[in-house]
Amino acid sequence: MFLRGLTSIVAPIQRRSIMSSQIPTKFDQLFKKVDELKPDFIDVVAQAVAIPAVSSDESLRPQVVKKAHFIVGQLESLGFTDIQLKPLGIQPPPVTNPNLELPPVVLSRYGSDPNKKTVLVYGHYDVQPAFKEDGWDTEPFTLVVDEEKGQLKGRGATDDTGPLTGWLHVVRAHREAGIEFPVNLITCFEGMEESGSLGLEELIAKEANDYFKDVDAVCISDNYWLGTRKPVLTYGLRGCNYYQTIVEGPKADLHSGVFGGIVAEPMIDLAKIMSTLVDSDGKIQIKGIDEMVAPVTPEEHKLYEEIDFSVDELNKASGSNTALYTKKEDILMHRWRYPSLSLHGIEGAFSAQGAKTVIPAKVMGKFSIRTVPDMDSEKLTKLVTEHCDKEFAKLNSPNRCKTELIHDGAYWVSDPHNAQFSAASKATELVYGVKPDLTREGGSIPITVTFQDQLKTSVLLLPMGRGDDGAHSINEKLDISNFINGIKLMGAYLHYYAESKEN
Amino acid sequence: MFLRGLTSIVAPIQRRSIMSSQIPTKFDQLFKKVDELKPDFIDVVAQAVAIPAVSSDESLRPQVVKKAHFIVGQLESLGFTDIQLKPLGIQPPPVTNPNLELPPVVLSRYGSDPNKKTVLVYGHYDVQPAFKEDGWDTEPFTLVVDEEKGQLKGRGATDDTGPLTGWLHVVRAHREAGIEFPVNLITCFEGMEESGSLGLEELIAKEANDYFKDVDAVCISDNYWLGTRKPVLTYGLRGCNYYQTIVEGPKADLHSGVFGGIVAEPMIDLAKIMSTLVDSDGKIQIKGIDEMVAPVTPEEHKLYEEIDFSVDELNKASGSNTALYTKKEDILMHRWRYPSLSLHGIEGAFSAQGAKTVIPAKVMGKFSIRTVPDMDSEKLTKLVTEHCDKEFAKLNSPNRCKTELIHDGAYWVSDPHNAQFSAASKATELVYGVKPDLTREGGSIPITVTFQDQLKTSVLLLPMGRGDDGAHSINEKLDISNFINGIKLMGAYLHYYAESKEN
């Protein structure tokens, strides 16, 4: 609770009163400079937020590219070198404009000292769509600095424009404070994250032994604290296998008055199959999945016990009292380290308001399974399709049924005590006066696994914002204290990591 | 089969060879005049089809009104009197334009002889949407006269512009042949049938003792032969009770990565409930419904045995081999006189192409039950809601669930041997040389029951087109032989009905 009101102005005083003697002079100077430059830093965020770089809106593609150029301008002014706007080619279908170029990836370097470690920082400059009519209190593409609440409000404030610019601010603070930058920095800023990171995986693979060849560690600042009070470091993500079960019968949609009761309806078969996948208490009913899940060790269990979280926070986040578990450990484990199965919807059926007396001819039930260690994606798909085939066979239906994988993204778990995580933990203690919680995420950030696999490096997820920032929602915000402390944290992490003996 | 190639030119010869001596002279004259006027009649249909009177498209509302005025012009030229364009007020929401006027109902009279019976003929001048891109071979709003196939092709040809104009052609043929019109005719032509007949029920109730006060019988020509070969008279319709089961939990849609496995998902509960309503073999699983259905008498069973139909025709119509029954009688009874339950879809869930990892917060499962004698609508709704509540309770879910009736339309069954039906049967034999099949329909025409109840009269459904006309589909057509013979049939029916002793 004591951190809630911590602003960038109050923070140094409080910190000093707790542990003034431990703070090395260089951090003192650096953090003072960060505090001094706060108005400038916020101004950069405001300029960036003003560009509506919505990657999912084809008509706004020029704005996405404009934002890439804005970042290039910032990099140039800060002395970054080897700045490249890497083209990713034409966007694959479905697109309206068949010649639509993907937005470029912004690569750049700050420093190239062979005696220093090299850290690649990833961020994305594109944003989710936003319209004032959606329910925003203010214009989404005009950054509002709410001094009373201590918040920056606007689309991209926390996802991911604020954190992305954080890395630039760290460089500027070092320059203006006259402190040597501790590592070689490489930026990898993409403009398609909110639309599936199209083309990025290929670029990373291509640059692994080229632009990225000296990278020792990757740091991604594109997630959030678990709650609103305690900083976290994130060491794991669930994967996602997305499926569809297709049931088809008649050649075209039929009228339920004329055909109801005399033809086998695909929707009836599909409802039966979908109802067998998972129970209302969240238990997956597909045989063989539980056996693939790595058992919980006592050490791992202890990790969850130590985390600051409660069922009230979950209920607040979902806006309901529909939590399946009340114990903190159960909630966290089922979010992070157990698989889950969600039913998303049905394509091809009636889905509008009102009443339509249609018998849909072809329906596609969509569901996905969040995957965790040690689930094997191929084996999972085999279990899923066999289950659905078996359930369909029970129905004795003359319709046709097929279940297929739409896409899969691997889970990721890192060692939360390696050099990077240790450095980030130490930096968190320095800036926030508290050890960070070690968290995972229930969702996926597929690019994490790509970086780890392609660059053969450790990846750290170092969030800047809080769990209530409303990343994809209306009135997206970033607390100013998180912004300023986040910049300090990024800086301290780079120094501690530079000093660590191992990679 | 012998009827398939029967054209309006060949028909009189064949008919004469069968039963020339029985044909009264007035029918000879009348039918000859109908044949003569064929090019003019087709021209009127062509002019009417050219007006894209799509009632569901707000932007085309002026065209719907234009078509009403076109009909008024026709009525005036034929000597109809007391022509009124009855306004129905503003269209209720949901609409884009809150001041959108409903299209008017065209009322008119032809004759007012107190010694004659009065027949109200109903038709609708609005049509379903149609775009060439949907797959039409030709422009949908340009009537194509395909002499080779003997078909009129265009939106509204069979539903219901062709049949509606049929009544006007009957009048014209009488006038030009110098034959006295046998009854007083009242037209009730609406422009919202394809969009729920908004406002019509109220108008009928209002005019029951006014414009419609002398009506002895109502004839609706807005359905189709069962197949493609044999004319039918229709004496029954199933009703329709449309329901939605609403399950809601979270305040807003959630991300399945973050919340999957830790909150109770409304979609999971809904899939469970929907799967309990009906089995893949079409059997309704809600207790108490079967007991409400009137038993089949041996006489009724015999009716189905006599009808010209086969499972092949059903499979051809559905474009698949997904029929639940193979015996003709089983198919016809399950289409016409047994209830059926169809699952239409889900509102609020993901329904687009591709993959979206959403946990929908509020989902509405849509389903409907086709009703038959002696099902009571209120009792049915009670059984349905109780069933869904019970199934939901079994799930022990923290979500909320409610099932509600969206709308109901009553079933209708008439005496197929009353004065009107006997007259129409006799007329069919005269024109087509064959006794018509007595059919019901699986679907609903709610206005049928309204006319019957409000005007306290018998209603006859007298179809003009064939079962393969593609009424709501692409390449809608009306066979020219059905058009011309249909006009003759309308005329003969009016004469025979006028001569009958009872009403």
| Residues B138 and B245 both lie in one domain | no
Those residues with Cβ within 8 angstroms of residue A378's Cβ, 6 or more apart along the chain or in another chain: none
Under the banding of pLDDT at 50, 70 and 90, the label for residue A22 is: low
Nearest CA in chain B to A283: B261
Contacts of B405 in chain A (CB under 8 A): none
CA angle in degrees (0–180, nearest 5) for B302-B303-B308: 110
Residue B386 identity: E
- B264–A280 CB contact, under 8 Å: yes
Bin A6: left if φ > 0, else alpha if -120 < ψ < 50, else beta.
Answer: beta
DSSP state of B349: S
Count residue pairs from A and B with Cβ separation < 8 A.
Answer: 290
- A357–B240 CB contact, under 8 Å: yes
| Residues B349 and B261 both lie in one domain | yes
Structure tokens of A207? Answer: 């640059």
The predicted model gives A5-19 an average pLDDT of 36
Q: What is the model's pLDDT at position B90?
A: 96
* pLDDT at residue A4 greater than cutoff 70: no
| Residues A143 and A215 both lie in one domain | yes
The predicted model gives A12-35 an average pLDDT of 69
Read off the CATH number of the domain in which A196 is found. 3.40.630.10
Asked whether residue B3 is domain-assigned, the answer is no
| Residues B282 and B401 both lie in one domain | yes
| Residues A464 and A349 both lie in one domain | no
Nearest CA in chain A to B348: A351
| Residues A433 and A445 both lie in one domain | yes
Alpha carbon separation from B194 to A350, B160, B394 (Å, rounded): 18, 10, 41
Those residues with Cβ within 8 angstroms of residue B242's Cβ, 6 or more apart along the chain or in another chain: A355, A357, B366, B367, B368, B405, B406, B407, B408
- Predicted confidence (pLDDT) per residue in B71-124, tens digit: 999 999 999 999 999 999 999 987 889 999 999 999 999 999 999 999 999 999
Residue B305: is it exposed, middle or buried by C-beta count within 10 angstroms (0-12/13-18/19+)?
exposed
* pLDDT at residue A366 greater than cutoff 70: yes
- Of B450, B451, B433, B452, nearest to B492 (Cα)? B433
Q: What is the model's pLDDT at position B23?
A: 57
| Residues A225 and A245 both lie in one domain | no
* pLDDT at residue A7 greater than cutoff 60: no
- Of A341, A323, A343, nearest to A332 (Cα)? A323
- Predicted confidence (pLDDT) per residue in B189-217, tens digit: 999 998 889 999 999 999 999 999 999 99
Helix A446-455 with A200-207: angle, nearest 10 deg: 10
Alpha carbon separation from B292 to A265, A406, B145, B372 (Å, rounded): 24, 45, 49, 9
Domain limits for position A258: 239-294+337-409
- Residues forming beta bridges with residue B368, ordered by sequence position: B242, B342
| Residues A375 and A427 both lie in one domain | no
Phi, psi angle pair for A454, to nearest 5°: -75, -40
Q: What is the model's pLDDT at position B162?
A: 98
- B477-479/B151-153 β-pairing: antiparallel
The predicted model gives A374-382 an average pLDDT of 97
Asked whether residue A86 is domain-assigned, the answer is yes
Q: What is the model's pLDDT at position B22?
A: 56
DSSP H or E stretch at residue B306: helix B298-306
Asked whether residue A300 is domain-assigned, the answer is no
Q: What is the model's pLDDT at position A356?
A: 85
- Predicted confidence (pLDDT) per residue in A295-335, tens digit: 999 988 998 999 989 999 999 989 999 999 999 999 999 99
Lowest mean pLDDT among A388-392, A445-449, B145-149: A445-449
Residues of chain B falling short of pLDDT 50 = 1-20
Other CB atoms within 10 Å distance of the CB of residue A2: 9
% of chain A exceeding 90 in pLDDT: 85
Can you list the alpha helix ranges (DSSP code H) found in A208-297? 256-259, 266-274
Contacts of A323 in chain B (CB under 8 A): 262-264, 398
Q: What is the model's pLDDT at position A18?
A: 42
Asked whether residue B415 is domain-assigned, the answer is yes
Asked whether residue B366 is domain-assigned, the answer is yes
Torsion (CA) A20, A23, A24, A25 in degrees, nearest 10: -50
B351 and B374 Cβ atoms separated by less than 8 Å: no
Asked whether residue B252 is domain-assigned, the answer is yes
- B443–A255 CB contact, under 8 Å: yes
- Of A243, A152, A199, nearest to A465 (Cα)? A152
Q: How far is A497 from chain B (nearest CA, A)?
A: 30
| Residues A121 and A268 both lie in one domain | no
Q: How far is A278 from chain B (nearest CA, A)?
A: 7
Q: What is the model's pLDDT at position A11?
A: 36
DSSP state of B278: B
Phi, psi angle pair for A46, to nearest 5°: -60, -45
Residue B86 identity: K
Asked whether residue B309 is domain-assigned, the answer is no
Tell me which residues of A are annotated as active site. Answer: 126, 193
Query: Among A409, A431, A447, where does a domain finish?
Result: A409
| Residues B232 and B265 both lie in one domain | no
- Residues forming beta bridges with residue B184, ordered by sequence position: B118
- Residues forming beta bridges with residue A234, ordered by sequence position: A439, A461
Query: Among B378, B409, B440, where does a domain finish?
Result: B409
Q: How far is A272 from chain B (nearest CA, A)?
A: 5
Contacts of B323 in chain A (CB under 8 A): 262-264, 398
Distance CA B291, CA B298 (A): 19
The predicted model gives A19-46 an average pLDDT of 88
- Of B79, B2, B8, B85, nearest to B42 (Cα)? B8
Query: Among B390, B409, B428, where does a domain finish?
Result: B409
Domains in chain B, number: 2
* pLDDT at residue A10 greater than cutoff 70: no
Asked whether residue A42 is domain-assigned, the answer is yes
**Longest alpha-carbon distance in chain A:** 84
Distance CA B125, CA B61 (A): 12
Distance CA A482, CA A463 (A): 10
% of chain A exceeding 70 in pLDDT: 95
Candidates B134, B262, B372: best to mutate against A (most CBs of A within 10 A) is B262
Distance CA B436, CA B1 (A): 14
- Cβ density class B219-228: b for 16+ within 10 Å, e for less: bbbbbbbbbb
Helix (H, G, I), strand (E, B) or coil at B359: strand
| Residues A376 and A428 both lie in one domain | no
* pLDDT at residue A24 greater than cutoff 80: no
Helix B377-394 with B266-274: angle, nearest 10 deg: 130
| Residues A366 and A288 both lie in one domain | yes
Distance CA A448, CA B25 (A): 90
- A259–B406 CB contact, under 8 Å: no
Q: Which residue has the tokens 């800023």?
A: A189
Mean pLDDT of chain A: 93
Contacts of B397 in chain A (CB under 8 A): 280
Distance CA A292, CA A241 (A): 15
Phi, psi angle pair for B334, to nearest 5°: -75, -20
For residue A243, how far is the Cα from the chain centroid?
A: 21
Read off the CATH number of the domain in which B344 is found. 3.30.70.360
Alpha carbon separation from A32 to A40, A169, B489 (Å, rounded): 14, 13, 97
